[in-house]
Amino acid sequence: MSKFEFVGGNETFNQIEMDGQETVYYGSVFFGLPISGEVDPYYLMDTNIFSYICKDKYPATLIKFISLTKDYGLELNPAFAIAEQFRSSPNPRGFVEYYQKHLKERFGIHLSDANRDSFCDLVEGKTNSFKSNIALIEDYLAIVKSIYNSPRNEKDSVTYFLSLIKEKNLPHLTFAIYAGLIFFFIKESIPRKNSIRDKVDKFLGIGKDYVAEMARLHNAASDISIFLNCQEIAAHSDVSKCTMASIVTCDEVVGHLLKNICIYSIENPVNGKYAFTVTIRNSSQWLERFQQYVPLIRENLNRTSIGSPEEAKRRRENLKNEWFLAMQKYLKF
């Protein structure tokens, strides 16, 4: 088994802001560069960035970002964004053709038909993995929502959440767990009317009924699943060349998580399973807060292996059960 461990702490996160324009957030999801092996880098766009390009309608901030990628020869990869088209559109490849056309006409960036088709092939080959990632995040988000929208303070929320994961033997989806902790920190520390607090309140808002809530969970999980897609792509890299997908987004919640969470190590898969380590960035505004809870995190997330396939299946079933119980609580059905 080959393992990519990222070192150097070159935690690149940037944003482009202009009055009256959408902020563009971009950066690497990895903690520096791999210790060994070559790097195959590109930017993985989220759905809103891709949509702007397909519609040939750009905030000035996005024009500046695309110009930067052209100047530095960086690849803009639409695989994440078109994955949603493959799930919902009758003609997903048509959107990629718009993307190809507008990049060339507006920015002079040439995307060959072969590369265009390779993006689509990548998505089609990983559709099941991407769907599975979204489903796992949906289930965790329901639990996070139930806690976030309760009267619990930060300490009680963190304690209850981590204890639940251990006591109910849930899968350790570290990214979703750490994202949940950050949401609890934001609720406790940042007042309403602040942009990120308002965005998280909306992100974790509750639908008016079961159907509306399922749609909200899916949309929210889809938004942040881009992190797991980067992880998935890196894990399936050639053992001598790590595919390091950075993220570019206009979504403030995704941007905030990118600014605060990163991948420290990842292993190539064996029998479809792989291990990885997610950590808080050294530059995170929540670093000290996380450090306060390290003993509690270690106590409740001290599992040393993913276990047998049967055990993994059992944990997944446990998570689905807690998803249902959480929704019962906050939808009151």
Check residue 120 and give its pLDDT.
81
Q: Look up residue 300 and give its two tokens.
A: 């409740």
Other C-beta atoms closer than 10 Å to the C-beta of 326 total: 20
Backbone angles phi, psi at 325, to 5 degrees: -65, -40
Angstrom distance (rounded) from CA 135 to CA 157: 23
Check residue 258 and give its pLDDT.
96
The per-residue DSSP string of 77-129 comes to E-HHHHHHHHHH-S-HHHHHHHHHHHIIIII-----HHHHHHHHHHHHHHHHH
Angstrom distance (rounded) from CA 25 to CA 286: 18
Angstrom distance (rounded) from CA 43 to CA 137: 22
Mean pLDDT by 10 residues, the chain (333 residues): 73 89 95 84 92 92 94 88 79 84 91 84 75 92 98 98 97 95 98 95 96 96 92 84 92 97 85 82 94 96 80 94 96 87
Domain count for the chain: 1
pTM of the predicted structure, to 2 decimals = 0.93
Check residue 235 and give its pLDDT.
87
Check residue 36 and give its pLDDT.
75
CA angle 52, 121, 247 (to 5 degrees): 45
Check residue 306 and give its pLDDT.
67
Q: Which domain holds residue 86?
A: 3-331
Q: Per-residue pLDDT tens for 230-280? A: 988 888 888 788 889 999 999 999 999 999 999 998 887 777 677 888 999
Determine how β-strand 276-280 pairs with β-strand 261-267.
antiparallel
